Amino acid sequence: MNTSTQISNAKLNRRLLKDKFFTYLLISLAFLSSVPLFLILFELIKKGYKQINISFFYKVAPDTMEAMVAVNNNEIIPGGIANGIVGTIIIVGMASLIAIPLGLITGIYLSEASKGKMTNMVRFVVDMLQGIPSIVLGVIAYIWIVKPVTSGFSALAGSVALSIMMLPSIVRSTEETLKMIPSTLKEAALSLGVPYHKTMLKVILPSGISGILTGVILGISRIAGETAPLMLTALGSAAINTDVTQPSSAVPLLVWEFYNDPNLVNMIWSASLFLLLLILTLNLSAKAIAKRWKVQY
């Protein structure tokens, strides 16, 4: 074996060694990054499953006296988070009704008119919305809705604040998804005499339904756990309330209320576990939809 061959083999061995080193390093870092998540899940499951039963889902949150008596007797705290579940469904549902159409229209506009001052301004505003703290959006909803519209805290005000939070993810996912669709698909539809609005509604949007729905579900999962905006808008309610112009509870608000009462500490873990599982389900649904309805071009 000549000298050049030995040098080449030595370089190859060093490259293979470096490749293995960085591969194992990346695997180790990925594992370390997931450790906090598993620790949180373990802690929530260990402390939260005790309070979860059938009544947990259809009874309203208990008061301090009921909780104190149950804790002193080493019993399960009576009651549940039904008022929070109903409130979350109503507030998140209304926020989705507001944000999804507006987000889709804005995303279509940005993808179709990709250049221009107005487009750049809209894109800049969307990026700014993504970075605004949630408490600031709560203050904005308080000024816009709580004071002039409902003259008090309400589920409607909370939904407005959360809809603003949803917009960036829907707009961005719609814009990026539509940009990946070949322009020839739209040109083919238009060449057959299909009106522009029908081309967008019946050809382009269905082709990008996977990415769009993923952005929508991720947006919903983001707002489902928000507390700060709801403290300034929905406020909370001890009973199940379906009137959107009145104060309403939500699961994140109940977690905050339980935190402020030492007798309801056990309810914190159960409500947090429910909220975490809800958001985890939404994220897994987004991945399943993206995989199931992915269109290849």
So what's the pLDDT on residue 1? 53
Q: What is the pLDDT of residue 143?
A: 92
Each residue's pLDDT tens digit, 129-186: 988 999 999 999 999 999 898 889 999 999 999 999 999 999 999 999 998 888 888 8
Average pLDDT estimate for 219-223: 90
| Planar angle of CA 59, 253, 67, nearest 5 degrees | 50
For 67-96, what is the mean pLDDT?
92
Question: Residue 208 pLDDT > 90, yes or no?
Answer: no
pLDDT score for 252: 94
Give the number of other CB atoms < 10 A from CB of residue 122: 16
Q: Provide the 8-state DSSP code for 225.
A: T
List the domain boundaries for the chain. 84-292
pTM beyond cutoff 0.85: yes
Which pLDDT band, with edges at 50, 70 and 90, does 202 fall under? confident
What Å distances lie between residue 260 and 158, 242, 255, 263, CA to CA? Answer: 21, 25, 9, 9
At the top level of CATH, the class of 84-292 is mainly alpha
Q: Is 241 exposed, middle or buried (0-12, 13-18, 19+ CB in 10 A)?
A: buried
pLDDT of 11 over the 70 cut = yes
| 8 A C-beta contact, residue 290 and residue 210 | yes
